[in-house]
Structure 1
Amino acid sequence: MEVSLKSLAEFLFQRRCLKEIKAPNLDSLSQNVSNICIDSRHVQRGALFCCLDGTKRRGIEFAHDAEQNGAIAVLATERIENLNIPQLIVTNARDACGYASAYFNGLPASRLLLIGVTGTNGKSTTTYLIKSILDAGEMRCGLIGTIIYYDGEKEEEAERTTPQAPLIQNLLSRMVKNCCHACVMEASSHGIEQGRIVGCFYDRAIFTNLTPEHLDYHGDMDKYFAAKKKLLEKYMRGGWKVSTNVDDVYGKMIQETFEPYALSFSIRQRKKGRFYGSIVSSSLEGIVMDIVLPDGITLANVVLPLIGEHNAYNALAACSTAWSLNFSPDVIRRGLETCPPVPGRLERYFIEDGSICVIDYAHTPDALEKALSTIRPLCGGKLWLVFGHGGDRFRENRPLLGSVAASLADHIVVTMDNPRSEDPGEIALQIVEGIKSSSRDPDYKIIIDRKEAVHFALDHARANDVVLITGKGPERQIIFKDHVVAYSDFDALKEWCDSRGKKFL
């Protein structure tokens, strides 16, 4: 689709984003835009450069670099001196970037059923479950989330949970071209707060739960909740619905605030008109659960290839959303039971010597407690835990993580996560403070090198022991202050198996 700078500016004016245009001459507005960029290093001839402020520097500082690299115009909230290309002066650069990206890509959100999943934990698994149900119902579905971006034809490794607006709109456009009818997307609090989803309007939303995370960014839980709630206040359309977990205090608040639009689900309380789930049996192979629909129909003995009560909640979230879209109970069951493994979400590997390795993304105290509590009663031997915590993240969580680990694990190996600008040794010591505060006094060891830590636990685990490795999940690198190292927990496990002559069962 060819988009002229003039038509794009007119669209921004219609969206009440555009304040003025500063241009060398009228002819300069007739040029076609080739791309929307927010990084001056990626600008090529014909691009519109959006001046978005970062945490340390302002976007307008890079406007001249963008011009030199071939930008035909910039989008900014103020006039920039000594610039020889048109300037679209807008009220809010992030909102305008989102709308510009949507217009440039042909307004793809208007041609898709959009489902947004928000909350602290469970977003990725819930998106996989929803996609699996839609696939079972022969509705082609794209996916944008923490683990992958899928455009209906190919997968690519995700850079962040909710990408920047130009990439979101490009992905949605590719989904339309690839004959997708729907997209399920994780909506992070950062993504919502920073306007990355501007240009998207959702038909369905899911609120999974809310526990302390990203408080270094949001400040407190009230502001964190307000960011999540903004998805429902600002980005929904038409006869929208939100599925919410009423066993979570914040999920209950969502139900009360958005009562006419809310579909509630619970494991704790069975109530007429509510989705209700109960776990029949559980093992390291998966869970069997009953699901009662609001119309009274029961999906009995659904065999879910996932483990843990929290995944029963995720199944209810996916089920309620699909039910509201008129998918049949048989399709819902088939989608839940055939959901593919979710990378880094209690991902299980059975080793021929009898031990089991589980890789999980859990990196908050609440998520770690859920992972450990899930595995503890299913573990026939000792429970080993290998974990750390990310640098430049909410430090108050570190002793809490240690305390949770000490309360449920038998052997703990504290290691690095993504240390970023911090000393991984110091992070480990802050975690150990929480371990030492526990009355349970488990065995623990600090091994900073993550691969070495994983190998140590696997070497010492015995038959029926479980080695749980948390914090990174499917991530494929470790981030330091000034460099990045290739690494994945699965690769560390695979290397250990190969070097010890072990095989997966």
Structure 2
Amino acid sequence: MKLSKLLEDINVLRYSGDLTTEIKGITYDSRQVKNNYMFICIKGSSFDGHDYIDEAVEKGAVAIIVDKSIEKDKVAMVQVENSRMAMPIIGANFYGRPTEKLKLIGVTGTNGKTTTTYLIRSILQQAEKKTGLIGTISIDLGQYVIESSRTTPESLDLQRIFHDMVSNNAEYAVMEVSSHSLEFGRVDQCQFQIGIFTNLTQDHLDFHKNFENYRKAKEKLFYKTKKANIINIDDEHGRVIYRNIMDFDVPVITYGIDYVADIMAKDIKMDDSGIEFKLVTPDYETVIRSSIPGKFSVYNSLAAASATYVEGIDKDIISKGIENLKFVPGRSEVLPINKPYKMIIDYAHAPDGLENILKSIRNYAKGRIITVFGCGGDRDKAKRPIMGEIAGRLSDYCIITSDNPRSEDPNEIIAQIEEGIKNISCDYICIENRKDAIKHAMMMAKPSDIILLAGKGHETYQVLKDRVIDFDERVVVKELIEEGI
């Protein structure tokens, strides 16, 4: 594709070189540059792509996008106002605006995004609709699945992924939309048909600074939709978003349990085998069953049912699609162990997520709840004592351990968590090594106890100060059982 074609709809401040240059590929990572590529210089928290222009040119780049005044011979240099904001436009131009050929559904919120996207995909697959998925755990291109490195990929990668979905004949795409992706413009040039808001609770305040900024970041999704916005009206921030977007020229559908909503769950039943409720819509009522337990599972099912209701999917297909999804990796996932106690892995790494899973377990626990958890380093520090208090209040015994400490001292993180639990009448112990912490929980567990391993979920690694190590809690538990624990 000619460089001039890629620059359509972009405010070019100045350029030098040949705009008829043929571009065969685009990247923002200098290590991926090949002959006849365009290299887009973007700035990150610890790097600046402008520092890698020479490397990119040596590898064969023929066009460079910058937002600084930089001269370079033998290549086309294009200066724009903001390289990062120009990138999604360039990506959409290069890949043929793929989201215009897909029915794109975006899900945003602090908790529930992953499970909701999996539920929507399950329903659409039950309806024989080929569906791609983008999220925290993996990316399903409609033909094959690849591992995900972040909740919402960078804008250029997103356009390529959507292009691959279209090439694989996908009709729908369902994706998690993080607040970071909305703030950094990663989903600009994505044509959403439906936007869904699940909830807003404390997380990422190290980045957003306060709840208002966090909510406003999430709210950006609902000005990018074409067909409908779906809002959890039980959530206080959902009600604010609902009021804010009412004048936007897209219908708003509400769902909930406690507040009157367009789509509601009635006659809810919950136990350790899952949930059952009556789905009440403006057109019909039907029974929904899911093997994923907990009130949060009702909300996730409501969100998925609301989106597919808007899409005109038959009620029996919605019911069957939800019932077909037996579990989501790392989300209230029961480990298959031959022990008299139960072990559950859950990604809960924020206060509300931890409280939700513990309250869910408390509803059916016959023995003690033993919670193994920590908090990630280089992330919102304010939530650490809050999570300590929640774990202590809702558990019978807590083991505070390391999560992904990153550049921080894991023992300092543990001490900050401990501030929230030490004045609560819950026995606890601090064991920095996570494998040792899990071992301790298994050794003390009695028949009917439930061990909750919270925070890591689907992750198969641990991020330490100087390295990333393999750490899959499923593997760790299996190894400990093989050792006789």
Conservation of the 8 A alpha-carbon contact between 2:10 and 2:89: no
Query: What is aligned with 1:182?
Result: 172
- How far is 1:340 from its partner? 4.1
State the AA in 2 paired with 1:293: T
Query: What is aligned with 2:429?
Result: 445
Secondary structure of 2:136's aligned partner: coil
Secondary structure of 2:61's aligned partner: coil
Query: What is aligned with 1:99?
Result: 89
2:276 to 269, 285, 288: 288
Query: What is aligned with 2:3?
Result: 5
1:111 to 101, 126, 140: 101
1:486 to 465, 470, 478: 470
Query: What is aligned with 1:161?
Result: 151
Say yes or no: does 1:477 pair with 2:461: yes
1:258 to 245, 255, 277: 245
RMSD of Structure 2 on Structure 1 (CA): 1.5
- How far is 1:19 from its partner? 2.9
C-alpha change, 1:270 and 1:8, in structure 2 (3 Å) is closer
Query: What is aligned with 1:236?
Result: 225
Instruction: Map residues 22-61 of structure 1 onto 2, 5 A cutoff.
Output: 22-23=16-17, 26=18, 29-61=19-51
Query: What is aligned with 2:234?
Result: 247
Q: How far apart are the structure 1 equivalents of 2:91 and 2:427?
A: 53
Query: What is aligned with 2:15?
Result: 21
Secondary structure of 2:335's aligned partner: strand
* Structure 2 unaligned blocks of 5 or more: none
State the AA in 1 paired with 2:292: L
State the AA in 2 paired with 1:373: K
Q: How far apart are the structure 2 equivalents of 1:462 and 1:83?
A: 72
Aligned length: 482
Identity %: 37
Secondary structure of 1:33's aligned partner: coil
Query: What is aligned with 1:424?
Result: 410
Q: How far apart are the structure 2 equivalents of 1:21 and 1:110?
A: 30
C-alpha change, 1:466 and 1:65, in structure 2 (3 Å) is same
- How far is 1:476 from its partner? 1.1
Q: How far apart are the structure 2 equivalents of 1:269 and 1:221?
A: 22
State the AA in 1 paired with 2:184: Q
2:206 to 188, 198, 216: 216
Q: How far apart are the structure 2 equivalents of 1:325 and 1:217?
A: 35
State the AA in 1 paired with 2:444: H
Query: What is aligned with 2:266?
Result: 278
Q: How far apart are the structure 1 equivalents of 2:294 and 2:78?
A: 51
Say yes or no: does 1:307 pair with 2:293: yes
1:391 to 377, 380, 399: 377
Query: What is aligned with 1:359?
Result: 345
State the AA in 1 paired with 2:273: E
TM norm structure 1 = 0.93
State the AA in 2 paired with 1:287: I
Conservation of the 8 A alpha-carbon contact between 1:124 and 1:146: yes
Conservation of the 8 A alpha-carbon contact between 2:332 and 2:344: yes
State the AA in 2 paired with 1:369: E
Conservation of the 8 A alpha-carbon contact between 2:10 and 2:86: no
Conservation of the 8 A alpha-carbon contact between 2:335 and 2:474: no
Superposed CA offset, 1:297-329 (max 9, x none): 1112x2212111011001110111100111111
Secondary structure of 2:79's aligned partner: strand
Say yes or no: does 1:327 pair with 2:327: no
Conservation of the 8 A alpha-carbon contact between 1:266 and 1:276: yes
- How far is 1:481 from its partner? 2.3
Conservation of the 8 A alpha-carbon contact between 2:341 and 2:447: yes
Q: How far apart are the structure 1 equivalents of 2:479 and 2:146?
A: 24
Q: How far apart are the structure 1 equivalents of 2:285 and 2:419?
A: 47
Conservation of the 8 A alpha-carbon contact between 2:2 and 2:22: yes
State the AA in 1 paired with 2:385: P
* Structure 1 unaligned blocks of 5 or more: none
Superposed CA offset, 1:83-117 (max 9, x none): 53111222221221111112211211110000000
TM norm structure 2 = 0.96
- How far is 1:257 from its partner? 2.0
Secondary structure of 1:72's aligned partner: strand
Q: How far apart are the structure 2 equivalents of 1:498 and 1:34?
A: 52
Query: What is aligned with 2:61?
Result: 71
